[in-house]
Amino acid sequence: MHARDLIGTFRPASFSSRFVGLAIVFFCYNGFCGIISVADLQKRFEVIAKAADGNVGVAVELLETKESILLNGKVQFPMQSVYKLPIGMAVLHEVDKGLLKLTQLIQVTTNDFVTKLQHSPIRDAHPLGAELSVSNLLQQMVSESDGTACDVLLRLLNGPPSVDHYLRELGLTNVVVATSEKEMGQDELAQYRNWATPEGLAGLLRMLHEGRGLSVPGREMLLRFLTETSTGPRRIRGLLPTGTRVAHKTGGSRTVNRLTRATNDAGIVTLSDGRHMAIVVFVSDSAADEVTRDAVIAKISRAAWDYWVAEPP
């Protein structure tokens, strides 16, 4: 039995779940003894977040038990490229319905290219345009965070409102997709229109984990693309044990006048005992440098890992 499951067996039957944040439990595990609580972890998040010199939102959840810890969990944060996760789910939902095919070839023109300041391997590799499959575009959007691929897929979906409708069908009201990548590149403030609360995005990750809103093949494909993510190596996965499986989507804005409006990472981490942790960390309106912002996300991720794995850092 896992240490936290063992702890749970000693909770008094009359203990109300609404007080779990105040619960303190003394436990021993693999020779390590200590006092740990949800409140302790929340406090740890708060201490780590101070280095960001901005706003930080966190949601972590053990998906097998639904135990969760939040920091500013109901506050709206700009998602930036994290919003490609719900867009990817919406695309695969259309594939499941037979309205799109993964092998379908789509013409990508120079009019589809995002601005020069935005990330787009497709634009860089094909300056005159190209014909790419839906599956290729999906992989480029998720694993490489390609802005052009994102906008082409949004076009196939008939725009952001269709993604927003998909999210509402899933019962999510606290994740909003409203603009294209190109719009965000042309207007710095447009990114605030694509927002999520940490709690809402964690809910979407839970749905992905449980296979809600997607077929089994669609879910497996998206999780594979998320696991192959090349961006943000020093964020969620930065301080986790080597080889840890992390299916995640990053997001980030440029730094303008020493202010970075978004440095984000959200995903599903497979713990060493095989259980799964959903984690969302949003850092917004930060005056800290990139190394510090990434470290805030990495340290929060490691703190959550240690809380559920019950091992000393």
For residues 93 and 218, the answer to whether their CB atoms sit within 8 Å is yes
Residues contacting 261, CB < 8 A, separation 6+: 78, 80, 188, 191, 192, 253, 284, 285
Known catalytic residue at 286:
no
Name the DSSP letter for residue 156. H
For residues 52 and 293, the answer to whether their CB atoms sit within 8 Å is yes
The Cβ-side half-sphere exposure at 38, using a 13 Å CA radius, reads 16
Residue 34: φ, ψ to 5°: -175, 175
Calpha distance 32→30 (Å, rounded) = 6
Q: Which amino acid is at 307?
A: Y
Calpha distance 231→250 (Å, rounded) = 7
Calpha distance 87→220 (Å, rounded) = 16
Among 68, 81, 253, 284, which one carries the catalytic annotation?
81
Alpha helices, DSSP H, located in the chain: 3-9, 38-49, 84-96, 121-125, 134-143, 147-156, 160-169, 181-186, 198-210, 216-227, 290-309
The Cβ-side half-sphere exposure at 219, using a 13 Å CA radius, reads 14
**Where in the sequence numbering do the catalytic residues fall?**
81
